[in-house]
Amino acid sequence: MRTLRDIIEFNWRNAEKTLKYGQSRLMRAEYETNGTLTEPSYIINKINNIRLSQKEGIDKAIDENRLDAIFCPFATEIAADAGYPSIAVR
């Protein structure tokens, strides 16, 4: 597979195994964006996501509580959103 469209088509052909949760995000990415990550709405959302996950998220929690680390007892993407490293322990 080389493109997002290839993945979408594969999923449709194998829907019983691949579409348990649908593929609405893939469909929106393929058909509602130009794929260059330059749309104003993408850039605004990316900037807000970084602000909320860094300055108003992880940084704020660490600074206000004088922490060295944060433990999350569930899967979270906030560290990745902030551009920070994280460790998953099972």
Distance between CA atoms of residues 17 and 90, nearest Å: 26
Burial of 45 (0-12, 13-18, 19+ CB in 10 A): exposed
Given this model, what pLDDT does residue 78 score? Answer: 86
pLDDT in tens, the chain (90 residues): 999 999 999 999 999 999 999 999 999 999 989 988 999 999 999 999 999 999 999 999 999 999 999 888 776 788 888 999 888 777
Distance between CA atoms of residues 88 and 80, nearest Å: 12
pTM (2 d.p.)? 0.63
Residue with tokens 């019983």: 16
Please give the DSSP secondary-structure letter assigned to residue 54. Answer: I
Q: Fill in the amino acid letter for 63.
A: D
